[in-house]
């Protein structure tokens, strides 16, 4: 799971800024979308204990936060499609970033505790 330090860039304030929302009316909804987006992205990448510091790495944190914010924004923008018959697919930005992070995660998973590659 992402650390609080890593997740701090993907927070309610940043999401509201990116969506250009000033009020507090949708805060509860946005918090739920952020939590769902974080869970989706982490599930798409991995969260094993063997790479517990993965999400705190500088090169990973920016990609992770971008994916979370993009997905949470998509959930908010197309929120009616979450309950209606028509469905909006997850955007290509999120899929692309998850693919990149999976590669980085796999590389780190291959490193043993001694710091040597398998």
Q: Is residue 30 pLDDT above 90, yes or no?
A: yes
Q: 110 or 66, which is more confident? A: 66
For 63-99, how does the pLDDT look when each residue is reduced to its tens digit (9 = 90+)?
Answer: 999 999 999 998 888 776 555 556 556 577 888 898 8
Question: Is residue 114, in this structure, part of any structural domain at all?
Answer: no
Residue 9 has a pLDDT of 76
Structural domains in the chain (count) = 1
The two structure tokens encoding residue 21: 């929302």
Model pTM above 0.85: no
pLDDT, position 15: 93
Residue 113 has pLDDT above 70, yes or no: no
Cβ atoms of 30 and 72 closer than 8 Å: yes
Helix (H, G, I), strand (E, B) or coil at 8: coil
Residue 115 lies in a domain: no
Q: Which domain holds residue 66?
A: 4-109
CB 38 within 8 A of CB 10: yes
């Amino acid at each position: 799971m992402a650390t609080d330090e890593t997740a701090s860039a993907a927070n309610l304030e940043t999401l509201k800024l990116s969506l250009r929302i000033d009020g507090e009316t949708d805060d509860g909804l946005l918090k739920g979308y952020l939590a769902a987006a974080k869970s989706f992205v982490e599930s798409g990448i991995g969260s094993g204990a063997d790479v517990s510091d993965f999400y705190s790495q500088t090169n990973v944190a920016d990609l992770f936060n971008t994916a979370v914010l993009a997905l949470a924004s998509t959930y908010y923008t197309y929120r009616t499609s979450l309950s209606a018959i028509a469905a909006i697919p997850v955007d290509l930005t999120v899929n692309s970033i998850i693919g990149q992070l999976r590669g980085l995660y796999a590389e780190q998973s291959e490193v043993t505790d001694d710091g040597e590659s398998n």
